Structure 1
Amino acid sequence: MDSVDEKIIAELTRNARISHAELAGRVLLSRNAVRQRIERLERQGHIAGYTIVRADDDSGDVVSALVLVYRQDRMRGGDVLAALKRIPEVVICEVLSGDFDIMVRLEAATLQRLRDIWEDIAEMPGVRDTVTALTLSAVVNRPRGSRASAAPG
């Protein structure tokens, strides 16, 4: 990835529905060059998908939880990861070092849906155990592109 790719991703993070023509103007490339770069970024996994962020209202509340997963075999647990990727409510899935194998962040519309997903994860072949914590409140929630860097000092 180069600096133009970074600019494209930053613009798409701000507005995933931006047209290729408008995006091209912002990054000083042709529309076709922008389209080709976006397709390459998708193929390489730098852009893994597009999502909808609902405006803040009462119906937009989400129930979230962290699920720490122990696999039966850390080295051959790819089936568990593949299954987790197919669950739309999985918003983060990371392989960890240390005691736990996988950390999963779930966001669902209802507590019941969260419970159903948790049960599905616990019953997956290759999962030995889980530890789950419900999110009570969000204190910091920064979109990836908005993290401030520390000034040299």
Structure 2
Amino acid sequence: MDHIDRQLLVLLLQDGRATYQELGRQVRLSANTVADRVRRLQAAGVIQGYRAELNLEAFGRGMQMISDIRLRDDTDRRAFEAQLAEVPQVIGAMRVTGDYDFQLRLACTDSREFETVVDRLKAELGVRQVHSRLVLHEVSLGLDRVIGS
């Protein structure tokens, strides 16, 4: 991967829908050359996909929380992971090291819905302890910082 590939990745992070022609203008290459480079980055697994970024407030889910989860000793981790897909308020999950087993990102309509989710996690999914924080706002640092290192 050379500096032009890195430039293309930064541009695609900023606008995943940019055309090969637009990208080519910015890196001073033909659209065909850019297309070849992007396909090569996809084939190598550097680019794993493209997705839309949604505004959760447009869906009435503007209340976001980060919740640290500790499972009960008898809870199967893989079963817990599979069951998370059935909880629509969970929009992200990471297995972590330290005092907790998982960190979840939740998007709820209000505190009542959040309370319902916590109760469900404990009653149905084998969660022993939940430690949550309300997300006030997100600071977007961008993955383009990683590409340059």
TM-score bracket for the superposition, by shorter chain length: 0.5 to 0.7
Partner of 2:19 in structure 1? 19
Preserved CA contact (<8 Å) 1:68 1:132: yes
Partner of 1:31 in structure 2? 35
SS of 1:144's partner is coil
Larger radius of gyration: 2
Q: Distance in 1 between matches of 2:52 and 2:23?
A: 18
Partner of 1:52 in structure 2? 53
Q: Distance in 2 between matches of 1:93 and 1:71?
A: 14
User: Does 2:120 align with 1:129?
Assistant: no
Preserved CA contact (<8 Å) 1:80 1:124: no
Q: Aligned letter for 2:35?
A: R
Post-superposition Cα deviations, 1:29-59, rounded to whole Å, max 9, x if no partner, equal 4313313423543xx6x646523244xx998
Post-superposition Cα deviations, 1:5-28, rounded to whole Å, max 9, x if no partner, equal 543442232122222443354454
CA-CA distance at 1:142 after TM superposition:
2.2
Partner of 1:67 in structure 2? 67
CA-CA distance at 1:4 after TM superposition:
5.1
Q: Distance in 2 between matches of 1:6 and 1:128?
A: 42
Q: Aligned letter for 1:51?
A: A
TM-score by length of 1: 0.59
Partner of 1:96 in structure 2? 96
Unaligned segments of structure 2, at least 5 residues: none
Post-superposition Cα deviations, 1:58-93, rounded to whole Å, max 9, x if no partner, equal 98871011111112459x613323444676654542
Q: Aligned letter for 1:145?
A: L
State percent identity of aligned pairs: 18
CA-CA distance at 1:115 after TM superposition:
4.5
User: Does 2:134 align with 1:142?
Assistant: no
Q: Aligned letter for 1:67?
A: S
Preserved CA contact (<8 Å) 2:69 2:102: yes
Q: Aligned letter for 2:132?
A: A
Q: Distance in 2 between matches of 1:37 and 1:19?
A: 16
TM-score by length of 2: 0.61
Equivalent residues, number: 140
